[in-house]
Structure 1
Amino acid sequence: MMKLTKKRVVLFLLFIFPLICFLILSTGTNNFTKLPVVTSNVLDVSTLDSSKTFNGNISVVCFLGNDMNSNKGGFFNLNEKIYKKFIEYNQFQIIAVYPKGKESEVEILKKEIGAFTDMVKWKFIAGSEEQITALHAGFNSDDALSSLYTSNVFLIDKNGDLRGRVSDQDSVDGKLFGYNMNSVSVLNAKLKDDVLVLYYEYYAAFKDKNKNKADRKEVGL
């Protein structure tokens, strides 16, 4: 009988176990929980800037507010824990909405965050108070803007739907509409995981589509 040596255990953990996990994920296309839609067809960000859109992108939306300097800790958390994790992913973007007239504060924030970060997928969009309020209200969350700022960030899918959770243990009614960017644990344990689930959801759908095409080709359809 083969002895379970320390070397074999290390080799299993480093090589075999990750391979098993990959095979389970790659074969169980539909055996995962899809990320719930908590609000359908939110107001598109193109209402603020016609050159930007949620459609076709996975977007994390934050509201910078009138006092960015006081709240910048959360924006740094978002950059470190989420943006840097997904910067290489296709169609990923962070939409940062700010009030018109705050361009100088935005430039300072960009400079500070961009000191060690490629800001190519940070999209800063200005809007009037009415436009920003309407965009946020369209999420239908129990969150409220204060001076056009909220510590919550929102996850929008490629179809313009707000994604979140419907059985979140930390939410009063179980519904999670937004993720608190001031909490590193929330960003790590919830938002990062949910973005990954959303990407896998699209990957699984793409894989199924290609499989169906191959099957139809085989039977001559």
Structure 2
Amino acid sequence: MVVLFILPIVAYLFFASGIHNFGRLPVLTPKVGELTSFSTDAQLKNKITILGFLGNNVDQQKGTAFNLNQKIYKHFFEFKDFQFVMIVGKGQEQAVENLKKELAVLADIKNWKFVYGDKDQIQSFYSQLKTDITLKDDLSTPYVFIIDKDLSLRGRTDDEDEGTKYGFNTISVAELNNKMEDDVKIILAEYRMALKKNNAERK
């Protein structure tokens, strides 16, 4: 099963005519903070994370979650150390439970993590990303971000539409299909190649 996922990624990296160099997704913000200010067991360190902000009205952000679940998560969730982390306002616990039940109909949601915080916690954490994207008044954004195992924000420095691209708009299915999926493939393959290299050097 894992081979079925790995082979298309490796093939993609060799044969795609995309804008990125083989094997490396640019670091845009190094050393984003860990989730230590929140009461959670989830962590970003040593994980490849898709980070999102659902804010204080989860019901209104269901489209974000469903699009991600269908277009990104279900294709990659079996990769080791790959996770989705959604930052949510306190008081949204029941709305999240309802959302999880709906997502679970479509895929195994074992790697979806929901982290709760108040306004100050969420704003402070978000500011560490240092992006050109602003949180809405309800502490949400339709954009999600790729955080690597070393807590760095990855993205594009030469995107054909935006130049520097910090995040991916989950409202746009085309963007998820044509840009985010490609970049997730690249970062997963990057770590896969590094692991193979390390294992080979040990032998």
Q: Is TM > 0.5 for Structure 1 vs Structure 2?
A: yes
Q: Does 1:213 align with 2:197?
A: no
1:38-90 per-residue CA deviation (whole Å, 9 max, x = no partner) reads 00000112321341111111100111112222221121000101110111111
1:1-221, aligned counterparts within 5 Å? 25=14, 32-146=22-136, 147-171=138-162, 174-214=163-203
Aligned length: 188
1-structure distance, mates of 2:58, 2:40: 24
Instruction: Provide the identity percentage.
Output: 39
**After the TM superposition, which of the residue ranges 179-188 and 41-50 deviates more from structure 2?**
41-50
2-structure distance, mates of 1:211, 1:196: 22
TM-score, normalising length from structure 1? 0.79
Q: CA deviation at 1:140?
A: 0.1
Question: Structure 1 residues 211 and 123, CA, compared in 2 at 3 Å: closer, same or farther?
Answer: same
1:143-183 per-residue CA deviation (whole Å, 9 max, x = no partner) reads 11111000000100011100000001111xx1111100111
Structure 1 runs of 4+ aligned residues shifted over 6 Å read: none
2-structure distance, mates of 1:33, 1:111: 36
Gaps of 5+ in 1: 1-17, 26-30, 215-221
Larger helix fraction of residues: 1
Higher relative contact order (CA 8 A, sep 6+): 2
SS at match of 1:124: strand
1:172-210 per-residue CA deviation (whole Å, 9 max, x = no partner) reads xx1111100111111111111111111111122222223
CA contact (8 A) 1:46 1:52 kept: no
Larger strand fraction of residues: 2
Gaps of 5+ in 2: 1-6, 15-20
1:109-147 per-residue CA deviation (whole Å, 9 max, x = no partner) reads 112222232111100110111111111111000111111
Q: CA RMSD in A?
A: 2.0
Q: CA deviation at 1:101?
A: 1.1
CA contact (8 A) 1:97 1:126 kept: yes
Largest Rg, 1 or 2? 1
CA contact (8 A) 2:45 2:149 kept: yes
TM-score, normalising length from structure 2? 0.86
